[in-house]
Amino acid sequence: MNYTLQQLRIFKTVAETKSITKASEVLHLTQPAVSIQLKKLQDQFDIPLTEVIGRQLYITEFGNEIAEVSERILNEVMGIRYRSKAYKGHLVGTLRISIVSTAKYVMPYFLSDFMRAHEGVDLQMDVTNKAGVISSLEENAVDFALVSVLPEQFEVDKVTLMKNKLYLVGSRSPVEKGNIVRKSDFEKLPFIFREKGSATRRAMVDFLRASGIRTGKMMQLTSNEALKQAVIAGLGYSIMPIIGLKNELNNGSLQILPVKGLPISTSWNLIWLSSKKFSPIANAYLDYVKEEKDTIIKEKFNWYEDY
């Protein structure tokens, strides 16, 4: 046997995702690279690790056993790495964070310098919807979460990072230049919503209801990025957080449309369970955020304060 740790890591990921395509995305490798390493590992066994039926990849019983052994080996190797760094007095372990999809435009900037300063710290960041974030917190599966709406199901503590501002945006204005979009204009506009349960959708619906506004044709998309591309293509209009629209606003593919009562202003909050017992890594990260957040906002989000 002459398999490598990389081959075991790739096979473990393929076994978890049941897909070479998905495994390549998780590992940030090309599909051919994953396929080649998978074949090299398979060549060392007389019993198949996988089988393809139709277009679906399945892991054989033997393959599942190898995947379990691979996970144990990789965990032991990681343990060696952690112990060696711990002996040198470094922080070691994993920082676990769950964020809602629009927070992907915010959270990395509050992580990069911390991760660079602590080489022994690994990052596990799950980008999901609001329900997924709440579930991760409730199950104590993460150290922190980044949300714009605080959960009501349990007690949390928080650090407010920065404002979250939502505007009506479109690829072109439905009214003459200089005019605001009025209540009667909304009824003629095709409107694109996020899925039910999304904090962005909730803010949008609350605004429309409070303003007594009815919209025209309604569409629903389940990710902020898909919604943005639909608006750019002229499929409709939406009320969106502008934190993820910097390039589109600069190049003119999207524009903010003036509406009475907008923007909606909420806050991005780093939250954690009030009863959470922090690891040394989580404690160090919280101290870092409290100390550096104003500097990060000034350096990375100065454009955002102009809106």
Q: Can you name the CATH fold of 164-266?
A: D-Maltodextrin-Binding Protein; domain 2 (3.40.190)
Give the mean model confidence (pLDDT) for residues 100-108.
92
Cα-flanking dihedrals φ and ψ of residue 276, to 5°? -65, 130
Same fold, 93-162+267-306 and 164-266: yes
Query: According to the CATH classification, is domain 5-87 in 3.40.50.2000?
Result: no
For residue 83, name the pLDDT band (cuts at 50, 70, 90). low
Long-range contacts of residues 170-173, Cβ cutoff 8 Å, at least 24 apart: 170/231, 170/236, 170/237, 170/238, 170/254, 170/255, 170/257, 171/231, 171/232, 171/233, 171/234, 171/253, 171/254, 171/255, 172/234, 172/255, 173/255, 173/257
Task: Identify the weakest region by mean pLDDT among 20-24, 81-85, 285-289.
Answer: 81-85
CATH number belonging to the domain at 93-162+267-306, selected among 3.40.50.300, 3.40.190.10, 3.90.550.10, 1.10.10.60: 3.40.190.10
* Residue 168, pLDDT score: 92
What pTM does this model have? 0.68
**For the chain, domain boundaries:** 5-87, 93-162+267-306, 164-266
